[in-house]
Amino acid sequence: MKKPVLKDKGMFPEQYELLERTSSPVLSRRRFFKYMGTGLASFLLVSDVLSSRALANLGADERSIAEDTIAAWIQIGEDGKIKVFTGKVEVGQNIRTSLAQMVAEELFVPVKDIEMIMGDTRLTPYDRGTYGSLTTPQMGPKLKLAAASLREMLKELAVQEWSLGKGSLQLEKGYIHHPNNGKRLSYAQLANGKKLLRKVDEKVSLVPSGEWKIAGTSVPKINGMAFITGKHRYTSDMVLPGMLYGKVLRPPTYGARLKNIDTEKARNVQGVTVVQEGDFVGLTAPDSRTAAMALAIIEAEWHTVPQPGREDLFQLLKEQGETKEGDQEVEDMLQAAGAVLEQRFEIDYIAHVPLEPRAGLAEWTGDQLTVWTGTQRPFGVQEELQRTFQIPKDNIRVIMPDTGSGYGGKHTGEAGIEAAKLSKAVGKPVKVIWTREEEFKWAYFRPAGVIEARSTLAQDGKLAAWDFHNFNSGSAGIDTPYAVKKKNSQFHASESPLRQGSYRALASTANIFAIESQMDDLAFLRKMDPLAFRLQNLEDGRLKDVLLATTEAFGWTKAKPTEHGYGLACGAVKGGFVATCAEVQVEPGSGNVKILRLVTGFECGAIINPAHLKSQVIGCVLQGLGGALFEAVDFKDGKILNASLSAYRVPRFGDVAEVEVVLLDRKDLPSAGAGEAPIVGVAPSIRNAIFDASGHKINRLPMLPTGKVPV
């Protein structure tokens, strides 16, 4: 059996999905506590996602931090301002707002009284990273418990202060009111630096969702003003006294090693310092123009090694995929069946293209290092810096200012590390901002993949056998949500020619594309309506509900012009349930495809902020259009051929179809994250609509690089 791919191409959390089927058993809760020692009840909320591999990487200090006290999460200043601490970071999900709402609700204070301190390794409790739609379901409850515990503690203090027996106290806008004499005490007066080290009460009662006044409402983006006035400072905007601009020399192709280098001309440029440590060559200059010019006149020769190109990609991923024993029963059923639907799907690499490229600013003060960088994992970057410089983690502070997006693409800390290396060498603060070209070439991509699926139906039209294999793109969403008599879904790790990592919704997009394409084609073979066919095979009530609400809003049963097609798709991802209906037009003469309308229904439990949730759904759907229709990374001989925004197309204004969002608010259910799930229905619903309109089955992503179906 082929060994799983474990070589270090940069394995980031979430990318565990590329490994988990072959290694890293998920740790049991019991073992986790044993490992973690005592007094860490608040970790309970995150234990399920930690693998033993990840745990082994935790430092001793992380294993012993007592983060079960209120003070670790919430502090009340003497001015009455409430500071909330979380290692989660803001990259545009608007969790700065939604988390503040959840805390405000429990504390009976307005959102404006809350300051969120986020993603600062010195100030906030350890956090593995902001990914996987985990903020709302995991950090939300954790902060709510801390806030409610604080509230109850304040009430106790007020009872003591007023020598009251048990009685009901009214809380409002940061004050506790005396039950009968009209007096009131502010939270600041009561807290007064006291007793915040009390443990978070895991059993404290929370405000029931039916009584929410702040959570569940469309509170506008915190600091929204700073963004529309240009005043918000992203990492790339930050300046320190004496700061220099850094650049790093990149190889001409992947896998190239330095043979010879002549940096003399660059060194002779006024203000330029060249830094060389093995294959790492960088420089600093007083301004970015000088830095770029000096970099351009470094003369370097490289050893190159042959690299695969895009034309060989899918063959390669399949051939080098690990072999696994299939399921004999499924195989027998498929062999015995009269009609088997067998399909292969190909998924290209795509790029995240965060509009703010990677940026890092580093400053050394003696042996203390501070790095500001836009990363989804500030604590992960702290670990990367620790490995790079071999200094104690306590000497390293990583701060993450609200950043120009990530979409899963900023789990790493390259620019921050480069800035720190250069800063250490030149003894001044250094800022490194990647160019768009660097971001395309030296970040990482959403994995490419090959999916092979076979399925067959029983006499009654229900799914009988299902065999599903994903090579390289990932295992997220690989399990069909439909009831099948006997199924086998397997992920096969492979050798990726390009550096790959997490991307919004991971492989759910690819897997659900294949699953929902199969479902549509099976419905067609059975001569059944795609909606009726799905409902017949679906058992999950929440998914059924969202499917029905979406098709109703779309008008699934309404007549349509002949050139038009309707398509639908649904899926359950990271605690969210989504369905998308698409209407497309395929011009018979030209084969031109127009995406006319996309209706997406989404249910993720109790809604915290309806406006921002709607915005996330819209953003997912429209970003998903890119990967569905035209985005693909082109590469050959170790080079990315479309590493610019003029060559790599992303959705723009003119690509925007009519988008409608239907939100189902389930106040009775815990809130789940929403930044990922709504992307998964886009591609398959459009694929199925194109089939409905034209009879063309397009089993690859992107589907329409030329905008046309073959005619």
Of 615, 685, 688, 699, the one binding other proteins (CB under 8 A) is 615
Look at phi and psi of residue 260 and say left if phi exceeds 0, alpha if psi is from -120 to 50, else beta: beta
Quote the least distance from Cβ 405 to other proteins, whole Å.
4
Binding to other proteins, residues 277-336 (CB under 8 A): 287-290, 293
Q: How far is CA 364 from the centre of its chain?
A: 31
Quote the least distance from Cβ 95 to other proteins, whole Å.
11
Helices 378-389 + 414-426 axis angle, to 10: 40
Binding to other proteins, residues 165-194 (CB under 8 A): none
Give whichever of 120 and 356 is closer to other proteins, judged by the CB atom.
356
Task: Candidates 187-195, 228-236, 252-260, 696-704: pick the segment binding other proteins (CB under 8 A).
Answer: 228-236
CA angle (445 as vertex; 439, 449 as ends), nearest 5: 160
Give whichever of 396 and 622 is closer to other proteins, judged by the CB atom.
622
Give whichever of 322 and 439 is closer to other proteins, judged by the CB atom.
439
Long-range contacts of residues 183-190, Cβ cutoff 8 Å, at least 24 apart: 185/158, 185/161, 186/80, 187/76, 187/80, 187/82, 187/107, 187/109, 187/154, 188/76, 188/77, 188/78, 188/79, 188/80, 190/154, 190/157, 190/158, 190/161
Beta bridge partners of 260: 301
Tokens of 43: 């970790």
Of 96, 142, 221, 534, the one binding other proteins (CB under 8 A) is 221
CB 265 within 8 A of CB 259: no
Give whichever of 603 and 631 is closer to other proteins, judged by the CB atom.
631
Helices 682-694 + 508-525 axis angle, to 10: 30
Is residue 231 close enough to count as binding other proteins by CB under 8 A? yes
One-letter amino acid identity for 454?
A: R
Give whichever of 371 and 650 is closer to other proteins, judged by the CB atom.
650
Q: Is the peptide bond before 702 cis (omega within 30 degrees of 0)?
A: yes
Q: What is residue 130's DSSP assignment?
A: S
Helices 610-629 + 682-694 axis angle, to 10: 50
Give whichever of 327 and 356 is closer to other proteins, judged by the CB atom.
356
Side-chain half-sphere of 310: how many Cα atoms within 13 Å?
16
Of 165, 208, 210, 230, the one binding other proteins (CB under 8 A) is 230
Quote the least distance from Cβ 417 to other proteins, whole Å.
20
Give whichever of 436 and 708 is closer to other proteins, judged by the CB atom.
436
Binding to other proteins, residues 636-665 (CB under 8 A): 644-646, 650-654, 656, 659
Task: Candidates 10-18, 133-141, 414-422, 608-616: pick the segment binding other proteins (CB under 8 A).
Answer: 608-616
Helix (H, G, I), strand (E, B) or coil at 153: helix
Give whichever of 238 and 340 is closer to other proteins, judged by the CB atom.
238
Taking the C-alpha atoms of residue 47 and residue 31, their distance in angstroms, rounded to an integer, is: 10
Task: Write the binding mask 560 to 599 for other proteins: x where contact by CB under 8 A, - elsewhere.
Answer: ----------------------------------------
Is residue 559 close enough to count as binding other proteins by CB under 8 A? no
- Backbone φ and ψ for 689, nearest 5 degrees, come out as -70, -40
Quote the least distance from Cβ 357 to other proteins, whole Å.
7
Binding to other proteins, residues 368-407 (CB under 8 A): 402-405, 407
Beta bridge partners of 275: 282
Binding to other proteins, residues 468-527 (CB under 8 A): none
Quote the least distance from Cβ 224 to other proteins, whole Å.
6
Task: Candidates 24-32, 111-119, 537-545, 622-630: pick the segment binding other proteins (CB under 8 A).
Answer: 622-630
Give whichever of 174 and 627 is closer to other proteins, judged by the CB atom.
627
Task: Candidates 43-51, 174-182, 434-442, 489-497: pick the segment binding other proteins (CB under 8 A).
Answer: 434-442
Q: How far is CA 130 from the centre of its chain?
A: 7
Quote the least distance from Cβ 409 to other proteins, whole Å.
10
Give whichever of 293 and 340 is closer to other proteins, judged by the CB atom.
293
Is residue 237 close enough to count as binding other proteins by CB under 8 A? yes
CA angle (657 as vertex; 654, 660 as ends), nearest 5: 140
- Backbone φ and ψ for 691, nearest 5 degrees, come out as -65, -45
Is residue 356 close enough to count as binding other proteins by CB under 8 A? yes
Of 186, 217, 218, 307, the one binding other proteins (CB under 8 A) is 218
Question: What are the DSSP E strand ranges found in 353-395?
Answer: 359-365, 368-373
Quote the least distance from Cβ 404 to other proteins, whole Å.
3
3-state helix, strand, coil in the chain (%, to 5): 35, 25, 45
Is residue 354 close enough to count as binding other proteins by CB under 8 A? yes
Binding to other proteins, residues 78-117 (CB under 8 A): 91-94
**CA nearest neighbour of 603 among 666, 555, 681:** 666
Is residue 634 close enough to count as binding other proteins by CB under 8 A? no
* Torsion angle of the four alpha carbons 449, 251, 8, 640, in this order, in degrees rounded to the nearest 10: -10
Give whichever of 478 and 682 is closer to other proteins, judged by the CB atom.
682
Helix (H, G, I), strand (E, B) or coil at 465: strand
Is residue 627 close enough to count as binding other proteins by CB under 8 A? no
Taking the C-alpha atoms of residue 145 and residue 102, their distance in angstroms, rounded to an integer, is: 10
Quote the least distance from Cβ 80 to other proteins, whole Å.
26
The residue ranges that bind other proteins (CB under 8 A) are: 91-94, 218, 220-221, 224-225, 227-234, 236-237, 239, 245, 287-290, 293, 353-357, 402-405, 407, 433, 435-437, 611-612, 615-616, 618-623, 625, 644-646, 650-654, 656, 659
